[in-house]
Chain A
Amino acid sequence: MEFFRVKTNIDFIGKRNYAFVFSSILILITIISLIFHKGPRYGVDFAGGISVRVKFSQPVTAAAIKSGIQTLNLSNCTVQEFIEKGQHEFQIQSSTENLDIENIQASLTQALSKKFGEGRFEVRKIETVGPKVGKDLREKGLWAVVISWVMMLIYVAFRFKHFSFGLGGIVALAHDVLVTVGAFSITNREIDLTIVAALLTIIGFSINDTIVIYDRVRENRRKTPGVSLPELINRSINETLSRTIITTGTVLLGVVALFLFGGGVIHNFAFAMLVGCISGTYSTLYIASPVVIVWEEKFKGKKKRRY
């Protein structure tokens, strides 16, 4: 079986202006959504607060739970039923600034016992994060993403001997991270530690794709010197196209399996990977290499360099 039996010759580079417009729109949507939602929706990890997962032995409603814990005066309190129906499983969440971490759990279980009766529910998971730790984690997460960008930039620029290649890779990475964050903002999903893990993985994957194409550019410029950069890049993208599609496909197979069968915690992680992988493949083809061309034409164009 082969997807591309005939050599493809799609003009990726020629469509770069359309791609830039399309990506700008995506990023604009992200920014608008972030402004509209007043920043990303942070999970307990980053906002600080409490998140409890409770399973009831009989059907209850979110409203009943909410009224049961009203006495606790939890601010920003949300009660959500888990997607798996028929489990009577709920997530209670609250991000209280001055959360009394040490006693909140005891008072929460007490309030629930009072409302629904003792032993009628099982607390399956509790997460409480103090505001200080939340802020720490938020900063560390941001740093982790930024540091990984810088390291990729340095590595790629070093390996391919041109700053523009590093820049192209980084622009693609930033694009993917922004699009993923935007998708989370639009669907109103929470960003927590596992999502940062997903973002870093997306960064790894996206640079992966980009490097494979750059690698081919490096090889082709040795083989056929004198060919113009846009043509060189376009040929390299086409030559590696089947690999790009197959790899993305197999990764997506794994990610879809995680998305559908991985259960609660993994669900959002897989969603991030899904968005990031698709965006990563797109940005590899339409963003990473065109940025190299734009940069070279803009700043070095006069000199007519060889690649």
Chain B
Amino acid sequence: MVRNLIWRAVLVILAILVSMFYLIPSITESLPSWWRDHVDKIHLGLDLQGGMHLITEVQTDKAIENTLNQYVQTLEEVLDEEKIPFIEITLRNDQTIAVELLDKSTIEKFEAVMKKNFPALTRLQPETGENFYPSIFVLDKKEIRTVKDSAVKQALETIRNRIDQFGVTEPNIQRQGEDRILIQLPGLNDPERAKRLLKQTAMLEFKLVDDEDSLQKALEGKLPPETEILYEETVDKETGTVTSRQPLLLKKRTLLTGDMLVDAQPQIDSSQFNRPYVSLKFNAKGAKIFKTVTTNNVGKRLAIVLDNVVKSAPVIREPIPGGRAQIEGSFTLEEAKDLAIVLRAGSLPAPIKILEERTVGPSLGKDSIDQGIRATVIGSLLVLCFMILYYKLSGLIADIVLLLNMVIIFAVLAGFEAALTLPGIAGIVLTLGMAVDANVLIFERIREELRAGKTTWAALDAGYAKAFSAIFDSNLTTVLAAAILFQFGTGPVKGFAVTLCIGIMASFFTAIFVTRVVFDYFVLVKKVKSVSI
């Protein structure tokens, strides 16, 4: 019996040591470096340290639309190449492509070409038999899934890049479900700026300005073919509102996009009243295209378009080799910095929409910690005092074990790098009540057995044995409830489920195993004849 006790005592001491190993780095700074490198401090949730929690939705329908637009463009090119004359290829609102052929007799060749080049497009059967014009195509379900999925993946990647460059420590960016992305940014000073940075599509395009056709006529509705009207906006720096919009007639064709950038940096033009601008550097392919474009269009204006707004449209004075360009416009240095970040990080494949936002300021987080600690301390003191009053020395043992239980909870939080949230603290306070329950069950049972006239040793044995099934069943059902909560919960609520689970499992160990070791020690080694209970 005593031998068995030694092994159990060793296990308990080992558990205490391991817990301390993980817990001490959260308490004190002055530790050897190998220790601090291995174990992190307990992470605080966003509600305790302040920060922003966003759930965004990638507008995947927009990505499908973009893909279909590209299909329309390539379709036009391929049909031209194959010499199949057509009247019009249009993208319709219900995400279908309508191809209207000029000549009925080319239909077979057309179908063969479609099969060979565009396997992802399925032709819909015409509704009425006699009229096969126009042919309607839809994108395969499988292809739609692929496009949507890769749009979300790319958006995730882009957001990660932007946050990295923005410089947030320990961000948490995760895909949730089909098209949602969870973004958690702790300790943020300017949430509005971060949101702007995240949300910007950052689609950079270079297009030629059409100076040959009349802008006036185009504005009246007579848009020359292959052109579009975009606006250059002037923004009031004080209020951030758009003060004027200048229309520009542009050639529709995109000459260069932001995909070909290798670098973008914010700069200050000291020759022009320290005006901020963003310098761009293209990759080899982009540089080559840029050189050709500038060589062929000297004297014309090249518009730099960001998210369908013209940033600037400088005149090309001479061919520009070397692949360098710059975006000027009326922005502040901060905006120039942010623009450089989003250009470096790449564009979003589709716009994102914010579905849910929770931002907690750092001062509120501090208050919450203080209140949480106060509630925990008062709650524990009340419970501890009661146990000693009611169960005397046995209550003291239960109390010591309760403290060990808390040490284990915090150690597990630190060890698994799970965040402590305000509901998490509530979970710990509740666990105290639960942990005590196991001991109450055992102690009540021991008292019962003692009343029935059993010896100390027999009463202890029976008390533990008979209380076990009740403790086991009740703990398991609570863990079940906590597990459901974890599955369902978001953010802070998850923290509650986590601490509740850890607490119950720890209490199973401390309340049943550890207290028994202590009792056995007194009865078997110290030969104590009666229990103070």
Contacts and interface: CB of A to CB of B under 8 A. Distances in A.
A300 interface: no
B367 A144 contact: no
Interface stretch (B100-108, B129-137, B339-347, B481-489): B481-489
A257 B484 CA distance: 26
A147 interface: yes
A133 interface: yes
Contacts of A55: 363
Contacts of A254: 379-380, 382-383, 429-430, 432-433
A186 B396 CA distance: 42
Nearest to B359: A126
A250 B433 CA distance: 5
Contacts of B153: none
Given A133-B356, A215-B469, A148 B480 contact: yes
Contacts of B191: 126
A132 B357 CA distance: 13
Contacts of B496: 194, 197, 201
B423 A255 contact: no
A155 B476 contact: yes
Interface in B401-450: 422-423, 425-426, 429-430, 432-434, 436-437, 440-441, 444, 447-448
A48 to B, nearest CB: 9
A238 B480 CA distance: 28
B42 interface: no
B356 A129 contact: yes
Given A144-B485, A201-B481, A250 B386 contact: yes
A197 B493 contact: yes
A257 B469 CA distance: 30
B400 to A, nearest CB: 16
Nearest to A131: B355
B484 A193 contact: no
Interface stretch (A29-37, A205-213, A227-235): A205-213
A123 B429 contact: no
Given A1-B389, A124-B361, A144-B488, A261 B480 contact: no
Taking residues whose C-beta sits less than 8 angstroms from the other chain, chain A's interface range is: 35 or more
Contacts of A123: 361
**Residue of B391, B440, B478, B481 contacting most chain A CB atoms (<10 Å):** B481
B474 interface: yes
Interface string B461-504: 00000100110011011101110110111101100110010000
A301 interface: no
Given A207-B474, A215-B470, A251-B434, A200 B485 contact: yes
A185 to B, nearest CB: 21
B interface: dominant SS: helix
Given A1-B390, A193-B489, A261 B484 contact: no
Contacts of B358: 125-128
B364 interface: yes
A254 B359 CA distance: 29
A130 B477 contact: no
A40 interface: no
B363 A147 contact: no
B39 interface: no
B284 to A, nearest CB: 38
B357 A126 contact: yes
B500 A201 contact: yes
Nearest to A159: B473
Interface string B355-376: 1111111011001100110111
A94 B380 CA distance: 38
**Residue of B360, B374, B426, B429 contacting most chain A CB atoms (<10 Å):** B426
B360 A102 contact: no
Contacts of B354: 101-102, 128, 130
Contacts of A122: 361, 363
A266 B437 CA distance: 23
B454 interface: no
A132 B56 CA distance: 12
Given A257-B379, A261-B378, A137 B490 contact: yes
A132 B488 CA distance: 16
Interface string A1-37: 1100000000000000000000000000000000000
Nearest to A145: B484
B199 interface: yes
Contacts of B356: 128-130, 133
A113 to B, nearest CB: 12
A218 to B, nearest CB: 8
Contacts of A256: 379, 382
B199 A250 contact: no
A136 B239 CA distance: 36
B238 interface: no
Given A193-B489, A208-B477, A219 B466 contact: yes
Interface string B187-199: 0000110010001
A237 interface: no
Given A122-B363, A124-B360, A208 B426 contact: no
Contacts of B47: 265
A261 B389 CA distance: 24
B440 A263 contact: no
B55 interface: yes
A269 interface: yes
Contact of A106 (B192, B425, B488, B490): B192
Contacts of A257: 375-376, 378-379, 382, 429
A196 interface: yes
A276 to B, nearest CB: 11
Contact of A262 (B360, B371, B478): B371
A155 B477 contact: yes
A249 interface: yes
Contacts of A128: 354, 356-358
Interface in B509-528: none
Given A102-B195, A125-B361, 20 more contacts: A55-B363, A101-B354, A105-B192, A123-B361, A141-B488, A152-B477, A194-B496, A197-B496, A200-B481, A208-B474, A211-B470, A212-B441, A251-B430, A251-B433, A251-B434, A252-B433, A254-B383, A254-B430, A255-B433, A265-B422
Q: Which 7 A-B pairs have the closest CB atoms?
A: A257-B379, A251-B433, A263-B371, A204-B481, A204-B478, A144-B488, A215-B470
Interface of B: 47, 55, 191-192, 195, 199, 353-361, 363-364, 367-368, 371-372, 374-376, 378-380, 382-383, 386-387, 389-392, 422-423, 425-426, 429-430, 432-434, 436-437, 440-441, 444, 447-448, 466, 469-470, 473-474, 476-478, 480-482, 484-485, 487-490, 492-493, 496-497, 500
Interface of A: 1-2, 53, 55, 101-102, 105-106, 122-130, 132-133, 137, 140-141, 143-144, 147-148, 151-152, 155-156, 159, 193-194, 196-197, 200-201, 203-205, 207-209, 211-212, 215-216, 218-219, 239-240, 242-243, 246-247, 249-258, 260-263, 265-266, 269-270, 273
12 contacts: A2-B390, A101-B354, A126-B357, A127-B357, A128-B358, A129-B357, A194-B493, A196-B488, A207-B481, A247-B433, A257-B382, A262-B371
